[in-house]
Structure 1
């Protein structure tokens, strides 16, 4: 049974398949969903991914121990893939939760030659950042999936 908060929640709707985003699920299991962001302008910052908790919780403090451990492992796996597969030199991660009250973690790659004035929260404002449409997002997601699969079997 879906309650009113979950029925209207963007992230819950995505998990139920009501909303489709370019690239689809990069990774998904019973606890987590990893996907690429999209943009209303059809030009998304390439490599900007989100880790969503499947269960509808508003913040980190509400995580169960298994969810918390899964988030930590996934942060590392996705970060490694972003560095290895798309050439990121640094990965930013943050949780806001102000606009969508369903826990999701932002992971944003910083590419080589990004001016320091755009580092941190201003990273997606860099005008020369790699941006792409749905087809380019699909391609980036495929590369990230392959890297994550290789990382899974590495010693």
Structure 2
């Protein structure tokens, strides 16, 4: 198999996910990821990926699908607890040949014309940040997940 960005990311000793289990992992989108520039990213933009390399939805097992769905629900609750009024979910698969489900929060005050990704980060008031801000968001999400304990 050719190199896979997601498989490589998950096997990096410095990889620090928001959460996960033996089947799926949740992480925050970082500056410089495929399809992204080096600048700030939309805070709270998470991806859920199977740990095993699987190109698309049809390639995951039922157990992996259940794990991805469970993590989507759990981190969506954590995003809402952190201030999101809505969480969008989508699987596009255009940039990387490894299934990854995007979870993108919409924060209060976001004008309606920016409600649907990928336009949310185009609004001048969008919550954007770099590594330091992402670290703070991830800490808050982890704390909620730990308190949730499901």
TM over 0.5: yes
1:43 aligns with 2:40: yes
TM-score by length of 2: 0.90
Match of 1:11 in 2: 6
CA deviation after TM superposition for structure 1 residue 126, in Å: 2.0
CA deviation after TM superposition for structure 1 residue 42, in Å: 3.7
Q: Give a deviation string over 1:72-124, Cα, whole Å, max 9, x none.
A: 11110000000002x00000010011110100010000000101101112223
Contact 2:78 2:145 in 1 (8 A): yes
Match of 2:25 in 1: 33
CA deviation after TM superposition for structure 1 residue 125, in Å: 2.1
1:54 to 51, 54, 64: 51
CA deviation after TM superposition for structure 1 residue 127, in Å: 2.3
After TM superposition, the runs of 4+ consecutive aligned structure 1 residues lying more than 3 A away are: none
CA deviation after TM superposition for structure 1 residue 34, in Å: 0.7
Q: What SS does the aligned partner of 2:143 have?
A: helix
Match of 1:110 in 2: 106
CA distance in 1, matches of 2:20, 2:91: 19
Higher share of residues assigned helix: 1
Q: Runs of 5+ in structure 1 lacking a partner?
A: none
CA deviation after TM superposition for structure 1 residue 32, in Å: 1.0
1:93 to 83, 86, 89: 89
CA distance in 2, matches of 1:141, 1:42: 18
Match of 1:131 in 2: 128
Q: Runs of 5+ in structure 2 lacking a partner?
A: 33-37
Q: What is the RMSD computed on CA atoms of the aligned residues? A: 1.4
Match of 2:142 in 1: 145
Contact 1:42 1:134 in 2 (8 A): no
CA distance in 1, matches of 2:64, 2:141: 22
Residue-pair matches, total: 144
